[in-house]
Amino acid sequence: MDTFNDSTLSAYFPGLVDICVNDEGDLVYAILKEGHLTFEQEYVTKADSFSIPERKHFQFTIPRAAKVVRYFDQEDTGLYDDLLTYLKRFSALDDEQWAIVANYVFLTYLHDHPGIDYCPYILFHAVPERGKSRTGKSVTYVAFRGIHLIELREATIFRYSQNVHGTLFLDLLDISKKAERGNCEDILLLRFEKGAKCCRVQFPDRGAFDDTVYYDIYGPTIIASNVQLNEILETRCLPVVMPNRPGNYDNPRPELALELKERLTAWRAKHLFTTFADLEPIEGISGRLWDITKPMFFVNSLLPVEHQILEDSILAIAGEKDASRKETLEGRLVSIIKEITDENDLGRFLEWTIKTSEIRTRFNQGRPEERHVSPQWIGKRLKSMSFNNRRVHGYSEIRITADEYAMILKQYGYTARESVKPINSQPEKNEQDQDVLREVESGRESAQEQGRPAFNSPAERVFYDEKLQEFQEGGVSSSHTREILARKALEKWRENDDVPF
């Protein structure tokens, strides 16, 4: 039978509420059993036996067991408001920013809940002396097992993540550069997702497989940085830009947060196995931003507070992220595609094409000649954005569907121009589509009377106009003859090429 002496030292296991200190000063596990909170110095199952490491290994305040039980056995409707009061002692933020920070504190206490898959990073960003560190410390001291770090060492992060499962406050001047130098880039990029692991070769002498150790690195993360984060890391963050509001604020100390930590630990015990209701995505919050903020809405649903302020706060972040994406190279390409689509009224089609040379010409406008991008660069960028490239008669073009267009506009914060419903060249045989078909046929007859054929797609129109220009430059003086030749060339192209309509 297992004894205390041969138990495995552990500060965390699934279902553990937390480690507390009892009236005798001993560390005990707080465990939920059949709806009751119990405290034990050792946790024994059929397969394992766990005991608590020495107190020196816990670099954060430890809740008092008697206080946790007291709050567990009573309603605590003022917890959210009291948390806000505590936070506002140390710095100043806008109400929307406080909503994000306060809900995030609650999330740290349920980040390991079975129904939660992501835990975003809180990013305090501003120039020096705006209160980033002070705010970050005040949050860390009240968060679940909060630890303040001013260095970025992978060994330290591995141990705190896997052994403690705590909240890490990374208080650094330039975290992206520190991560690169400290071989921690993969940790920062993966830590927001439950189940993420980082591997390191620790025992090369043991041979294949046995030489590698896999570390669990998921957990809540707070970042304070004077320097803008790299683009990929920032997608994991909820940014809080510190306002310029100097004042006389209290200095945060761990003991000032102890009572709130005990109340939050009791709140964790009450909701550790709560089942969350399904949430429908909120209009305006999509993609990764929805993935990382959905857990905050889960947590918010457990609190006696109005959810609207949190929704408005996240929507404001969504708007900021859209603006940032517009400023990227990909955002500029999407803007150009939208310009061309709107100018030529291409959005009324179910599918259309745009020459990559036209996109490149517009992209290079206003740029010094030595900074002009090549056709190859444009092609690779468009391909990386999932646009379907193809070559037709020697020139490159992208093919876009109406659904793809709507999605890319939404992702980069653009709205499609109001237009008629996209039409197909071969509509269904119902009354509504027959009206559309008659309208299209009317346009074709009008075009034929003017000597131009009826086009099935924008690509055909471009091809026809190019042929007219080609025959004119080739010395065909009669416009009627040029139109006949261009029409024949178009008919031949239709026979030999796979056109989109």
Each residue of 295-331: pLDDT tens digit?
999 999 999 988 899 999 999 988 887 777 787 888 8
% the chain with pLDDT above 90:
55
Quick one: how far is CA 73 from the chain centroid?
38
Q: Which domains, from first to last, does the chain contain?
A: 1-58 (no CATH), 65-306 (3.40.50.300), 328-422 (1.10.10), 434-501 (no CATH)
pLDDT of the residue at 450: 46
Residue 267, classed as helix, strand or coil, is helix
Mean pLDDT of 5-24: 90
Mean pLDDT of 162-188: 89
Q: Tell me the per-residue pLDDT of 406-461, one tens digit each, with 9 for 90 and over.
A: 988 888 878 755 444 555 544 444 454 444 444 444 444 444 444 567 776 677 77
Label residue 18 by pLDDT band (50, 70, 90).
Answer: very high
Residue 389's nearest CA partner among 381, 376, 399, 403 is: 399
Tokens of 392: 């037709």
**Average pLDDT, rounded, for the chain:** 86
> Is it the case that residue 223 has pLDDT exceeding 90?
yes
| DSSP symbols for 423-467 | B-SS--SSHHHHHHHHHHHHHHHHHHHTTPPPPSSHHHHHHHHHH
For residue 441, what are the contacts with CB-CB under 8 A and spacing of at least 6?
Answer: none
- Of 156-170, 276-290, 485-499, the range with the lowest mean pLDDT is 485-499
Task: Return phi, psi of residue 111, to 5°.
Answer: -60, -25
| DSSP symbols for 69-126 | HHHHTS--TTHHHHHHHHHTTT----HHHHHHHHHHHHHHTTTT-TT--B-PEEEEE-
pLDDT of the residue at 491: 78
pLDDT of the residue at 45: 85
Mean pLDDT of 281-306: 92
pLDDT of the residue at 260: 98
Report the helix count and the strand count for the chain, using DSSP H and E. 18, 16
pLDDT of the residue at 20: 97
Mean pLDDT of 24-30: 96
- Of 216-220, 477-481, 482-486, the range with the lowest mean pLDDT is 477-481
The radius of gyration of the chain's CA atoms, rounded to the nearest angstrom, is 31
Q: Tell me the per-residue pLDDT of 348-362, one tens digit each, with 9 for 90 and over.
A: 899 999 999 999 999
> Is it the case that residue 266 has pLDDT exceeding 60?
yes
Q: Tell me the per-residue pLDDT of 103-117, one tens digit each, with 9 for 90 and over.
A: 999 999 999 999 999
pLDDT of the residue at 35: 84
Residue 452's nearest CA partner among 477, 481, 479, 487 is: 487
pLDDT of the residue at 392: 81
pLDDT of the residue at 262: 98
Alpha-carbon distance 310 to 312, whole Å? 5
Mean pLDDT of 237-243: 92
Residue 161, number of CB atoms within 10 A of its CB: 22
- Which pTM was predicted? 0.73
Helical axes 402-411 vs 329-343, angle rounded to 10°: 140
Residue 183, classed as helix, strand or coil, is coil
pLDDT of the residue at 423: 55
> Is it the case that residue 389 has pLDDT exceeding 80?
yes
